[in-house]
Structure 1
Amino acid sequence: MRIETLPPAAAVGHILCHNLADAQGRKAFSKGRRLRAEDVPRLIELGVPAVRVAVLAPDDIHEDEAAIRLAQIVAGPGVAIGEPYAGRVNLSATIAGPLLIDAEALLSINLIDGLTVATLPPYTLVTDGQMLATIKIIPFAVPEADLAQSAAATGESGVLRVAPLVRRRIGVALVSSPAARARVERGMLPAIAGRIADLGATMVACRDLPPDEHDVAAGLAALLAAGADLIITAGETSVVDRDDVIPRAVQRLGGEIAHYGAPVEPGNLLLLAYLHHAGDAVPLIGAPGCVRSRDQNIVDLILPRLMANERLGRREIAALGLGGLLGASRRG
């Protein structure tokens, strides 16, 4: 593409670079318009001797077509493509779930001159119909080769996808001494139940358990038998060590401690484990005491991702440190 200044008759078929106004200052022609033969008399009437136009090369793709084609490259499962306008296309969710982004592919595309993709932050929990990203082609056209380069940088699942929340049967275990049981239930259960309901899931069972590894192991086994495909534990005190009661109960059942501790505040004392049951690795969140609050904390960051069947481990939890100082803590 090249920019030229041409008389109106010679500019037919090319793209107007700037808005043109009439004598009253009203917009007569909008930039981006492909000039037609019938526009020439009006341009002459406006006293325009020449116009700045974009002249496309044979291999150039118009901004609207380029935006659609880039959207088709970027959009993965759970993502809908909007209509193009002025080189822009918006992407929206077709299901609820966490937004997964191939950050390297996104960077590769945005490094190509003239192509831009702006997204929500990765792992944002989105709703059906919510806007996820906007694509803007900056020039009036881009070379075909640039779109080919974008496609080469992108995997089969695109750059953006929304993962469905497939684990929807949540078991809850509250661990406390008998004397503290009522207080723990009042303090913990409403916020946990609210999070489960907000995500469209069901609490299949809630077990009150004493702080004994044998009893906790039996309670966790009962939740698995009840059909729980994800378990949240909380209690009188947070898990304070890998050798604490809940981790030992997990190990007694043959489970795996994926990680203990998180660079997130509130939520440092997180336990993440997996219990093996009926061929499945059932995630277990050992929630810190902050789970009693509905303010955002570590549970809100990982629960949707686990419900979407993402296998989280040490690296994924460690990565939460970037942006891990959450709202309530920043105000402190």
Structure 2
Amino acid sequence: MNTVRVEEAIGMVLAHDLTKIVPGEFKGAAYKKGHVIRQEDIQELKSMGKNHINILELPIGMIHENEAAMKIANAAVGSGIFLKGPSEGKVELKAKHRGLLKVDVAALNQINEIEELVIATIHTNTLVEEGQSLAAARIIPLVIKEEKILQVEEIGKSYGKGIITVHELRPMKIGLIITGTEVYEGRIKDGFAPVMKEKIKHYGCSLLDIQYCPDDRKIIEDNIYTMIEMGADIVLACGGMSVDADDVTPQAIRNASEHVVSYGIPILPGNMLMLAYKGSAAIIGIPGAVMFLKNTSLDILLPRILAGEKLTRKDVTAYCHGGLCWSCKACTYPMCPYGK
């Protein structure tokens, strides 16, 4: 510990708490041990009667918590993220824009295996909003060996594009096909279109076209082809996804696609969803649950597709762990375990 004039203490670290007293109003620590003195602190310190302060002298090869937290955060940060802090030894990673959070979990685990430091995130593949807090980094003691921070930085470099990133959702063109003879003939009112139009808008996409089809495999198939020829990035074929005799949408999707990823997925509600591709265009069979429930399998998979991912069967089957919705009375999705 060393004593210096406050004017000379800028950038140095306080060795202990500094108490401020305002008679009848406040008594407590105005500056805590470990605080790094800033230019703007000087006048306040003097008003507290602190013309000299005790400074913590960092041994060679040791880093203060604020600097260490910033280095950890910088090692992990990727595109679409900004840093806030350090504040009381912590640096937050926040979203620059709305998008899909991607976390390299293997790299995250590797960093946290280094003792005396932590970085914690929310779940990967979460749809996040601008300004939302995504992760926080800090060390456990007040100071840490520089070699440990260098290890973190090496891990960050080895993963190239960032361990934690936010991918913007692309404003894709979506073709909407509503199936069902009873709807096509006007026997019942269509429940899909209003819901799907709102969902398409919510995800920042545009509705390319909407077509109504009877339960005829060939007609549905031809409409899928037409939507793709018109430039649809995604075709949503709604209804007719169960095992009923009249439900022919899955076979139409199978015939129109080049590759079926999965028919039926381990996410409830919405387990009858079908995902296929023709070229770069995604074809999604939408089950009836989407009409009645705010968040289903579609809301878990669609943001990933809009973020530019071409999903595989392995991506889909991984939801067997975490794919069950609790159906909470007050829904907090996506900030809940569903689809994580």
Same fold (TM over 0.5): yes
How far residue 182 of structure 1 moved from its aligned partner, in angstroms, is 4.4
**Per-residue deviation at 1:172?**
1.0
The 2-side partners of 1:183 and 1:127 are apart by 41
Give the alignment partner of residue 134 of structure 2, picking from 114, 129, 132.
132
Which residue of structure 1 aligns with residue 113 of structure 2?
A: 111
Q: Distance in 1 between matches of 2:187 and 2:299?
A: 23
Residue in 2 that maps onto 1:206: 210
Distance between the aligned counterparts of 1:327 and 1:288, measured in 2? 19
Encode CA deviations 1:284-332: one digit per residue, 9 max, x unaligned: 111111110242110110111111111112111111122211142799x
* Matched-pair contact (CA < 8 Å) for 1:191–1:294: no
Matched, 1:261 2:264: yes
The equivalent residue for 2:338 is none
Using the alignment, how far apart are the partners of 2:223 and 2:184 within structure 1?
18
In the alignment, structure 2 segments of 5+ residues that lack a partner are 331-340
Deviation at 1:44, TM superposition (A): 12
Q: Distance in 1 between matches of 2:223 and 2:143?
A: 63
Aligned counterpart, 1:325:
324
* 1:84 aligned counterpart, secondary structure: strand
- State the partner residue of 1:224: 228
Aligned identity (percent) is 30
Change in Cα spacing, 1:227 to 1:239, as seen in structure 2 (3 Å) is farther
| Partner residue in 2 for 1:94 | 96
Work out whether residues 183 and 190 of structure 2, in 8 Å CA contact, stay in contact via their aligned partners in 1.
no
**Structure 1 SS opposite 2:176:** strand
Shift of the alpha carbon at 1:102? 0.4
Give the Å deviation of 1:60: 1.8
Query: Which sections of structure 1, spanning at least 5 residues, go unmatched?
Result: 1-5
CA separation of 1:70/1:313 partners in 2, compared to 1, >3 Å: closer, same or farther? same
Counterpart among 193, 215, 218 of residue 219 in structure 2: 215
Task: Give the one of 166, 170, 181 matched to 2:170.
Answer: 166
Mapped pair 1:274 → 2:277:
yes
C-alpha contact (below 8 Å) 1:172/1:232 kept by paired residues: yes
8 Å CA contact 1:275, 1:283 repeated in 2: yes
Q: CA RMSD in A?
A: 3.2
Q: Which residue of structure 2 lines up, in the alignment, with residue 3 of structure 1? A: none
Aligned-partner Cα distance in 2 for 1:310–1:134 = 26
Report matched runs for 1:1-332 at 5 Å: 15-16=13-14, 18-21=16-19, 25-27=27-29, 29-33=31-35, 55-154=57-156, 155-178=159-182, 182=186, 186-235=190-239, 237-240=240-243, 245-276=248-279, 281-328=280-327
Q: Shift of the alpha carbon at 1:82?
A: 2.0
Q: Distance in 1 between matches of 2:14 and 2:187?
A: 70
SS in 2 for 1:90: strand
**Structure 2: how far apart are the matches of 1:183 and 1:129?**
47
SS of match in other structure, 1:68 = helix
- Is the alpha carbon distance of 1:317 and 1:329 closer, same or farther for their aligned partners in structure 2, counting shifts above 3 Å? farther
User: 2:230 and 2:173 mapped to 1: Cα distance?
Assistant: 9
Change (3 A) 1:100 1:240: farther
Inter-CA distance 262–18: structure 2 relative to 1 (3 Å threshold): farther
1:99-119, Cα deviation, whole Å (9 max, x unpaired): 111011111112222322222
**What is the CA–CA distance in structure 2 between the aligned matches of 1:123 and 1:184, rounded to whole Å?**
37
Instruction: Write the deviation string for residues 108-146 of structure 1: whole angstroms up to 9, x where unpaired.
Output: 112222322222221111122222222223222222222
Q: Which runs of 4+ in 1 moved over 6 A?
A: 42-45
CA pair 136-252 structure 1, distance change in 2 beyond 3 A = same
- Contact in 1 for aligned 2:72/2:138 (Cα 8 Å): no
- AA of the residue aligned to 2:251: R
Query: Contact (CA 8 Å) 1:259, 1:314: kept in 2 or not?
Result: yes
Counterpart of 2:85 in 1: which secondary structure? Answer: coil
Cα contact 2:192–2:291 (8 A) shared by 1? yes
Residues 221/72 of structure 1: CA separation in 2 closer, same or farther (3 Å cut) = same
User: In structure 2, what residue type is equivalent to 1:19?
Assistant: D
SS in 2 for 1:128: coil
> C-alpha separation between the residues in 2 aligned to 1:177 and 1:100?
41
Output the amino acid matched with 2:214: P
Structure 2 counterpart of 1:285, one-letter code: I
| Cα distance change of structure 1 residues 218 and 292 upon mapping to structure 2, 3 Å threshold | same
Q: CA deviation at 1:179?
A: 5.2
Q: Give the direction of change, closer, same or farther, for the CA distance of 1:7–1:98 in structure 2 (3 Å limit).
A: closer
